[in-house]
Structure 1
Amino acid sequence: MTAPSSMSWTLPADAAILPVTRKRIIQQLATWDYRLEPVIDENLQLVASELMTNALQHAGGGAISVTLWAEDNEAYLEVQDNSLDKPCVSVSADEDEHGRGLFLVESLSIEWGTDLLMDGKRVWARMRLQLPKAQPSLSLRKHLAGIVCAASAPTVGLSPSRALTSA
């Protein structure tokens, strides 16, 4: 278990902060000795962009704060703004240019949510910092279990030398 690490930034309501802040997030994780697979890096940057973009669009021009917290190969990313409007996942038509951000956040994170505060809201996402270990399919596990069970089954009535040659 690794000790938790956290970092916060207060940022102006300016779209120019997006690429700089994405880079800061990844650099901070590297400072904490997290080595990210490219797909994890991309997912984390995409979720950060979506959360920050929503805050910038709905914050009414006020500053936003971004907090990154990491522990045990998970990151918690939160973006706080001064809007009291609670975001929700929407359904977008093919021709719509907006409305897919929180769907992406929901799809790429372990979980996400919103906390209403006295002076705004906090939208957060919890992300994996490692790829999940591959798990064999159920049919493969049953097949392997059958092989192991057959190999360890007692051979009734045969001497050990005959059991090996009779198979």
Structure 2
Amino acid sequence: MAGLEGMDQSRREAESAPARWVTTIDDELATKALDLYGNPAAAEVRLLSRPESAAAARRLTQNVVLRQWGLGPQMAEHAVLLVSELVGNAVRHTGARAFGLRLLRRRGWIRVEVRDPSRGLPCLMPVHELDVSGRGLFLVDKLSDRWGVDLLPCGKTTWFEMRAPER
């Protein structure tokens, strides 16, 4: 096609180019979430048990993992996906008014915790190819290095850990 000869080549070059950190609207929203809710790496952050809180939890996680801890985009992407799954479970299945989010970093690991007042345990269900729901803990199991649930006197903490490069 006349005038479109370079289109395919530039698209291929763009797809193969390495990912770079670029300030975007998402970064600004992540910073605003940090200002609004607090830093989950410093202390547990309380979020209302509403579907829109998953977006706030994702933004907080992205900000901490990428900006504060300086970890790579793939680790941030996996942490954001998995925190979304844990938050979704807390919102959908616990009946709680609020839940807590906490991010911890220790030598070689990151840990993400979602605390809610329900003592009902999450259940890892078998996943089939055509299933449209019920994949949350399956993803947590596959993408994290380890995960679990700690029962508390009034509720539970569901958590996952991922290996992280040293600082």
- Answer yes or no: same fold by TM over 0.5: yes
Distance 2:111 2:165 in 1: 14
Q: Distance in 1 between matches of 2:118 and 2:133?
A: 19
Matched, 1:81 2:116: yes
2:162 aligned partner:
127
Q: Tell me the distance in 2 between the aligned counterparts of 1:113 and 1:8.
A: 18
CA RMSD of aligned residues (A): 1.9
Instruction: Provide Cα deviations, 1:88-123, integer angstroms capped at 9, x if missing partner.
Output: 210133333211111110111111001111211110
Partner of 2:45: 9
- Counterpart contact for 2:110–2:162, Cα < 8 Å: yes
SS at match of 2:77: helix
Displaced runs of 4 or more, over 3 A: 29-32
State the distance in 2 between where 1:119 and 1:130 align.
Answer: 34
**Structure ID, larger Rg:** 1
Q: How many residues align?
A: 126
The equivalent of 1:117 in structure 2 is 152
Amino acid at match of 2:73: P
Gaps of 5+ in 1: 132-167
Q: Report sequence identity in percent.
A: 33
Please name the residue that 1:94 is paired with.
Answer: 129
Higher relative contact order (CA 8 A, sep 6+): 1
Partner of 2:44: helix, strand, or coil? strand
Give TM-score, length-normalised by structure 2: 0.68
Show structure 2 runs of 5+ residues with no match. Answer: 1-40
Shift of 1:30: 4.2
Q: Shift of the alpha carbon at 1:41?
A: 1.3
User: Is 6-15 or 93-102 further displaced after alignment?
Assistant: 93-102
**TM-score (norm. length: structure 1):** 0.68
